[in-house]
Amino acid sequence: MRHPDHTIVLGSKKGSTMRSSWIPCAVVGLWLIPLQVALGWGAPHHTISQLVTERLPTWQRELIKGQTKSYIGRYCLYPDMASAKDAKPYIMPDAGIRLHIPDTREKNTAIIAFYLPRAVDAFAANDVEQAMRWFGALTHYLEDSSCPGHIRYGMTAIPEKGIPTTHLSFVAGLMPMPDELRAKNLHTVIDGGGFSHAQLKAAVGDRPPLLLGTSVEELTFALAERHERALVQAPQHLIPMLTAFAKEDKVAFGAAGAQAATLAVNMVSDALYTAICIAQKRIDPAEAARLPPQISLADIAPASGTGFTWNRLNYQGRPLRNASGTLGWASQPSNLKPQPLKLKLPEGGVKTFAKGWGVGVLTQYTFLLQPGVFGTFDVWVGNHAELGIEGVTSYEILLDGKSVAKTEFMRGDCTAQRLTVELGAARKLTIKTGGEGKSAKIHAVWANPILTFARTAAKEPQD
């Protein structure tokens, strides 16, 4: 994000100025990092991007070597210099602050889906300069998203004229801090990072970049998921950084900053590595074989969901038990402890499921898909075998808002049903739960929700 007090001249072109959301203010932030780091790499954006390129395999480093310096020194800052002549063509139209501050899941995915195909197409055409410019703009967005100071506004859209500094001031107000430090621009302080190239390299370790998919659509989906996880993990380093700043502990500040930046190094290097592999048609068969044939929908963050309320006896909107950890944004009421997901099966007996959700009446959650990535969606539905025996529930699956599978109302003693749908080119998958009677008796279960990759089905032998 651009802030007037972030600007320093890096001198890559005469008369040009680079601004970075991670660049420390010359007065406020230089105590945090060695002078050679602040002026050598310029800012953590440069340090992170340099490590991204260093981790690529030799053949990929050779491919991009003519653009490596420009990518590290300028392309990765494009969103911060959006009006510059060379940057402007690579700025997503109407993106605005969303190239710096994460927004809703749907809008975040739209940014990734805008940049990745353009970068892959350019790599496929052997236009490495164009590819690295497109990927550079995306790099900045992904790196900003790993910065603890760039806190998103939960599951909602960014308020008009909203800026992240209000969040930092609020958080800082909850901890002891000398007045002279509290008066600093805390956003700028956090953006400084406080780590060197060597420190970040040590934090990252020797993990090689990972293959995220075999098509640009699969890469887009996988990167959106990684991005979502980074948005959850990065803010966890904010309080350690602010605490270290308040204590003027440079070592602890830099260590916490490096941990956050590690999220960016891994995420960006995996994305760049996979994009080049796909574009150049050089996918290692052994790596491709390690990609999972299926994933659980319970491991994917939703784009939207039923609002949590306390005014219903079954706590509408709060999963009764989310065995995998997904959708767990609401607190656990003390008088209703987590319960295993149990369903009465048609062939007899009760089965406990490791993944899925327990939900109340009148709830629905929507997940984003990339067309063509997945072939089918399969799930078991029904009343909880123990808690739901007095409930009456119904279940429905919608694709892009259109109902494609549903049950009749199921009484508590009904056995579970299995629903399977073909996903085709759907972009949104919605699971919807209904009910009749007392809401306190509704304990609905969506169990073992499985997405099967289209590439998996394509490999299956045909009759």
CATH of the domain at 143: 1.10.575.10
Q: Tokens at residue 339, please?
A: 């319960």
**Residues spanned by the domain of 139:** 4-290
Q: Are residues 380 and 250 part of one domain? A: no
Q: Are residues 316 and 270 part of one domain? A: no
Indicate whether 194 pLDDT > 50. Answer: yes
Q: Are residues 164 and 267 part of one domain? A: yes
Segment 323-340, tens digit of pLDDT: 333 343 333 444 555 678
pLDDT at 186: 83
Distances (CA, A) of 230 to 273, 363, 401: 18, 27, 28
Q: Are residues 275 and 363 part of one domain? A: no
Q: Are strands 350-353 and 304-305 parallel, antiparallel or unpaired?
A: unpaired
Q: 8-22, 397-411, 437-451 — which is least confidently predicted?
A: 8-22
Beta bridge partners of 446: 357, 381
Q: Are residues 320 and 242 part of one domain? A: no
Q: How confident is the model at residue 7 (pLDDT cuts 50, 70, 90)?
A: very low
Q: Are residues 301 and 267 part of one domain? A: no
Segment 416-445, tens digit of pLDDT: 999 999 999 999 999 999 988 877 778 889
Q: Are residues 323 and 276 part of one domain? A: no
Indicate whether 364 pLDDT > 70. Answer: yes
| Total domains in the fold of the chain | 2
Question: What CATH number has the domain bearing residue 365?
Answer: 2.60.120.1060
Of the two residues 178 and 431, the one the predictor is more confident about is: 431
Q: How confident is the model at residue 154 (pLDDT cuts 50, 70, 90)?
A: low
Kindly tell me the burial class for residue 218, based on how many C-beta atoms sit within 10 Å of its own C-beta (0-12, 13-18, 19 or more). buried
* pTM check: above 0.75: yes
For 273-344, strand residue ranges (E) read 294-296, 304-305, 341-344
Which of these three, 249, 264, 290, is where a domain ends?
290
Interior angle at CA 73, CA 68 and CA 79, nearest 5: 110
Q: Are residues 298 and 226 part of one domain? A: no
Which of these three, 262, 290, 318, is where a domain ends?
290
Q: Are strands 410-411 and 402-406 parallel, antiparallel or unpaired?
A: unpaired
Q: Are residues 316 and 258 part of one domain? A: no
Q: Are residues 237 and 153 part of one domain? A: yes
Which residues, 6 or more positions from 173, have their beta carbon under 8 angstroms from its beta carbon? none
Which of these three, 237, 260, 290, is where a domain ends?
290
Q: What share of the chain is helix, strand, coil (3-state, %, to 5)?
A: 40, 15, 40
Q: How confident is the model at residue 456 (pLDDT cuts 50, 70, 90)?
A: confident
Average pLDDT over the chain reads 82
Interior angle at CA 437, CA 434 and CA 442, nearest 5: 55
Q: Name the percent of the chain lying above pLDDT 70.
A: 79
Q: Are residues 81 and 215 part of one domain? A: yes
Contact assessment for residue 160 and residue 227, using Cβ atoms and an 8 Å cutoff:
no
Of the two residues 460 and 37, the one the predictor is more confident about is: 460
Average of per-residue pLDDT across 315-324: 40
Q: Are residues 281 and 299 part of one domain? A: no
Q: Are strands 402-406 and 392-399 parallel, antiparallel or unpaired?
A: antiparallel
The amino acid present at 254, given as its one-letter code, is G
Nearest to 108 by CA among 66, 35, 157: 157
Gyration radius of the chain's alpha carbons? 24
pLDDT at 318: 43
